[in-house]
Structure 1
Amino acid sequence: MKDWIFEVTLDVRDYELDSQAIVNNATYLNYFEHGRHMFMRTIGLDFAELHTQGIDPVVVNIEVDYRQSLRSGDRFSVRLKVEPRGRLRYRFTQQIVRSSDGVVMADARITAATLVNGRPGPAPMIQEAVEKFSSHEAEKRR
């Protein structure tokens, strides 16, 4: 999983296909989001619990490069790494990779920020977790 700090494997579901019988491009955003949410859960951060505390991580920018199309029956992995960008922002680098042949289907760069009670603000528990699991820190642990 070179340089990737988290990976989750998923399957294409038929209802995610468009009229060309390929995964609709907007669905990739769901896959990327699911990967980020699963990562956060594995490091002990639950979005619902954060929300009850008035803390909401939100996406502020997404850039996606679509390389190839997933199709019905494909199994794929969503990989990610994360880097802090100051006290309020986090940069996720993600890939979707087809399991059968390792082909990268899409690359994304996602910037997220934290809102505290509806206003931009630091969330120390997220900042600490992201710093602990950032690609730079992961490299130091190797």
Structure 2
Amino acid sequence: MDEKQPIFFDVRDYECDMQGIVNNAVYQNYLEHARHQFIQDRGLNFAEITKQGIHLVLIKAELEYKRSLSSGDTFYIHTRTERESKLKLAFYQRIYRAQDDQLVLNAKMTVTSTTTEGRPIVFEQADLLLAN
């Protein structure tokens, strides 16, 4: 799927470690929020999907750190999706520092759909996440 408008964020002081840079684990929070926004921007509601008994579960996270963000930095995230199988979607995400458009992180986040009991289920609305 082609990328749409990026989502912008600002780094908050408490997200930084003793080195003054964003802690590596915080980037996964940024990526998750961007995925949820991506889903919402395509007319779906993550909470409503869950209430319907479909759980979109992250099963693999691949992150490649290129540069660091610091407190006060503004950054943006591009997200696109590809179907990996009947049950799996890959979210390809990139974080850029806004002030100089430098790539900060590349990520591939693989998601599958399950029932409340954890059994695999086809997420019929996945096509909305793949359509242009």
Q: Per the shorter chain, which TM-score range?
A: over 0.9
- Cα distance between partner residues in 2 of 1:82 and 1:5: 11
Partner of 1:82: 81
1:20-39 CA-to-partner distances (Å, cap 9, x unmatched) read 11000000001111110000
**TM superposition score normalised by structure 2:** 0.93
Partner of 2:71: 72
Equivalent residue pairs, number: 130
Partner of 1:21: 20
Residue 40 of structure 1 aligns to a residue whose secondary structure is helix
Within-5 A mapping of 1:56-67: 56-67=55-66
**Aligned-residue CA RMSD in angstroms?**
1.1
- Cα distance between partner residues in 2 of 1:45 and 1:52: 12
Q: Which runs of 4+ in 1 moved over 3 A?
A: none
- Cα distance between partner residues in 2 of 1:128 and 1:75: 31
Contact 1:6–1:39 (8 Å) recurs in 2 = no
Partner of 1:31: 30
Contact 1:116–1:122 (8 Å) recurs in 2 = no
Partner of 1:123: 123
1:27-65 CA-to-partner distances (Å, cap 9, x unmatched) read 000111111000001111111111110011010001101
**TM superposition score normalised by structure 1:** 0.87
1:95-115 CA-to-partner distances (Å, cap 9, x unmatched) read 110000000011101100001
Percent of residue pairs bearing the same amino acid type: 38
Q: Mind listing any 5+ residue stretches in structure 2 that lack a counterpart?
A: none
- Cα distance between partner residues in 2 of 1:72 and 1:130: 32
- Cα distance between partner residues in 1 of 2:5 and 2:57: 20
Contact 1:10–1:75 (8 Å) recurs in 2 = yes
Q: Between Structure 1 and Structure 2, which shows a larger proportion of helix residues?
A: 1
